[in-house]
Chain A
């Protein structure tokens, strides 16, 4: 008897027996195909809760993805704190929104940032929560509804100049930590609200912190304490995702208190398993552009098998799925997991 995607996704976190590993994501996975079917432009789905929810549901409806995730862009938290977003409505090709006006303009403003009391009512937080609720009503019985936040350090990078932030990590880690601690509070508050709105699981994306960027020493000093605080204070299921190079810090990531760790293609899964052992849940690590967009269905199958055989517990893309990924590739991803997700799942067969 086959399980519902929702039970398969959530059952794993609850320690229940599930029939196979799931194929889903904690990050954006809307496709151009989905947008076209609805007649939406990408630039307009970020500011309309109905369009956001409808478009997010297309991945399940079109290729059997086992989740629905909103929002898509990385500006929601920063906007609620006072930054200004650019949705690129006038640009013909597909672009993700960015922050065009920062909140912190000099290093000494960094420690002056406070989280407003009415944070849940600011910016697009109400809109995202509405989209979550709409998704829950639409397909929430079938699939798991996910949402996510930027990790505190990555969020700080949206609020201030990155050059300054990186240098301050080195020169004034204590002041950086004051800001990040407040941002951690914001994430804790809003994670609870997202859950109330109907989100089944929350992913924290600390993509500013791989070892392409920061040393393991800095990770210990300014990244880990805040992730620990967040994961201690938000309800399960909760996942930590970091893209880029993560093998040097996978042990530290595992100590942050998330229920699962998600990594990208650059991560050597065998090495990760050697470091963290077979027990922690590890998700990954299909290249969302080079494989899902530019590859053939055969390439996708190969990549999915490599992830499964590398020891993942759910097949996830390494970041947002780039929207132009052809449906045949996405179907190949889901089908390969259906085919091998029980037979080749190390956890199930030990």
Chain B
């Protein structure tokens, strides 16, 4: 594949995600496969790059939650085609990661969690999604059962964020090595510190960035 052709396909993957054009994404993903592009490259430099740009627009208040959700749908459309062809990260010698994620009990808002989930999936992580309104002990059990490296907790409301503190404490007691990332509208840097989390994401856009960064840094290991 010529560098120009590669650039064209990656560009359309990213643009399709950014403009929530599922058809454009599907077509570009198919062309990528047909013409022998590395599926991992198509995902990271195409789909994920487009999603990252959507996150930047959210931060600038040009995009809002509905737009992000539609971008995520477009990303999924591409991922469905590319994923079966992605090199397993294990064979690659790269990271084989597992993450337990869910929205804490009392909270039924899972949009942020779903956006973060899609990034982890794109990166080839094995995601153990516990869904929403998840009882605290379930996180602890699932982390132990799967021996996941990351536990990602989400809360949309102050009234439920408070429960994260107990989850973090319980997980750290059982397995001090597990990294805990928290996110959601009411969470702040200070609260993440106070609760003993390893990482935090301020809002939907930062959750995406945090996920991307976390994945990126793990990929470099």
Contact = CB atoms under 8 A, between A and B. Distances in A.
A26 B103 CA distance: 28
A162 B105 contact: no
Interface stretch (B5-13, B58-66, B83-91): B58-66
Given A163-B111, A163-B114, A322-B159, A214 B66 contact: yes
A170 B166 contact: no
Contacts of A244: 185
Contacts of B161: 289
Interface string A82-112: 0000101001011110111000000000000
Given A211-B64, A214-B65, A290-B188, A167 B70 contact: yes
Contact of A98 (B69, B73, B107, B190): B107
Interface residues of A, number: 32
Contacts of B109: 162
A213 B64 contact: yes
A93 B159 contact: no
A267 to B, nearest CB: 14
Nearest to B188: A290
A218 interface: yes
A333 to B, nearest CB: 17
Nearest to B67: A170
Contacts of A212: 65, 185, 203
A288 interface: yes
| A interface, over-half SS | loop
A166 B106 contact: no
Interface string A227-254: 0000000000000000010001000000
A95 B186 contact: no
A189 interface: no
B97 interface: no
Interface string A319-338: 11010100000000000000
Contacts of B188: 290
Contacts of B203: 212
Nearest to A215: B64
Contact of B69 (A95, A163, A218): A163
A95 B66 contact: no
Interface of B: 61, 64-67, 69-70, 73, 105-111, 114, 133, 135, 157-163, 166, 185-186, 188, 190-191, 194, 203
The 7 closest A-B pairs by CB, nearest first: A95-B106, A170-B66, A166-B66, A289-B158, A215-B64, A213-B65, A96-B159
Given A91-B106, A163-B111, A289-B186, 5 more contacts: A91-B135, A163-B69, A218-B66, A290-B188, A320-B159
Interface of A: 86, 88, 91, 93-96, 98-100, 162-163, 166-167, 169-170, 211-215, 218, 244, 248, 288-290, 294, 319-320, 322, 324
21 contacts: A91-B105, A91-B135, A93-B166, A95-B105, A95-B159, A96-B160, A98-B106, A99-B108, A163-B69, A166-B66, A169-B66, A170-B67, A211-B61, A214-B66, A215-B66, A248-B61, A289-B158, A289-B161, A290-B191, A322-B159, A324-B162
